[in-house]
Amino acid sequence: MAEIKERKIPQHVAIIMDGNGRWAKKRGLPRTMGHSQGAKVVEQILEDADHMGIKYLTVYAFSTENWSRPKAEVIALMNLLRAYMKTSLPKCAKNNVRIRVIGDRSKLDQDLQDSIQDLEEKTKTNTGIGFQIAINYGSRDEIRRAVTRLAKEAKDGNLNPDDITEETISDALDTAGIPDPDLLIRTAGEERLSNFLMWQLSYAEMYFTDTAWPDFTKEDLEKAVDAYNHRERRYGGLIQ
Ligand code: IPE
Ligand code: IPE
Ligand code: MG
């Protein structure tokens, strides 16, 4: 493990956890079994990320487009999220994890909204890893909501449109106060953003792996971080 110490650790890692359905199908299991296995993996990867020194982990759990899936699958996914919100407090307390849900939660069932609020409230002073869970999240929808809010502030005379900076916009997003991801990982062989953090990922390094999310391990995370270490981040400038 000495090797890890020499690695440059990205401060913020974002993950598009993909391939749960295919993982299950390959084993002759219902898709929902892939999701429940995937949920276990997230908890393990959160711990691994924390141990590696990653400060923020953001995972895509449910997109604004995922409502178009069969009703039973949507319910199964919501129930997994429900279970997580209800049972993870002791672990978050023990590991000093701070939870934030990003996305439009107003469309979620009231009891789920309540347990999200409760978990966020009870972990908000934790000083360890920041764990963002994207639920009913879509980047375009997030930007739309931010623009609406800023437009209202301008209309009310509390914001001069000429004073809108990139920072103003960042601060109006669900990820306000969280540094942009340095590394994006997408599993299961797909290489697209699927409406995830489009503003925030402007300069992230992208890492794609064929591994399906339920098979993703600490070793896969380390491989992604290793790949990140071989990238040269230029931000449009030149390397000396
Ligand atoms: C990712 O796995 C989990 C969610 C989108 C909620 P998928 O369910 O997309 O799995 P595949 O892509 O169908 O294999
Ligand atoms: C993206 O995965 C959303 C989540 C991981 C929650 P999808 O499987 O829904 O995305 P597409 O359909 O392949 O673009
Ligand atoms: Mg998928």
Contact 116, 105 (CB under 8 A): yes
Catalytic (active site) residue 18? yes
- How far, in Å, CA of 96 to CA of 20, rounded? 28
How large is the average pLDDT for residues 5-32? 95
pTM above 0.75, yes or no: yes
Q: Is the pLDDT of residue 177 over 60?
A: yes
Catalytic (active site) residue 158? no
- How far, in Å, CA of 115 to CA of 240, rounded? 50
Query: What's the pLDDT score for residue 141?
Result: 99
Which strands make up the sheet holding 130-137, listed edge to edge? 98-102, 130-137, 56-63, 12-16, 183-186, 205-208
| Radius of gyration of the chain from its Cα atoms, rounded to whole angstroms | 18
Instruction: For ligand 2, say whether the CB of 62 is within 6 Å of any of its atoms.
Output: yes
Q: Is the pLDDT of residue 1 over 70?
A: no
Q: Which residues line ligand 1 (CB under 6 A)?
A: 17-22, 62, 66, 77, 188
Q: How far is the CA of 193 from the centre of ligand 2 (A)?
A: 8
Q: How far is the CA of 18 from the centre of ligand 3 (A)?
A: 5
Report the largest interatomic distance among the alpha carbons of the chain, rounded to a whole angstrom.
59
State the virtual CA torsion across 125, 158, 104, 114 in degrees, nearest 10: 50
Query: What's the pLDDT score for residue 47?
Result: 98
Q: Is the pLDDT of residue 22 over 90?
A: yes
**Under DSSP, is residue 137 helix (H, G, I), strand (E, B) or coil?**
strand
Q: How far is the CA of 235 from the centre of ligand 2 (A)?
A: 28
Q: Which amino acid is at 155?
A: K
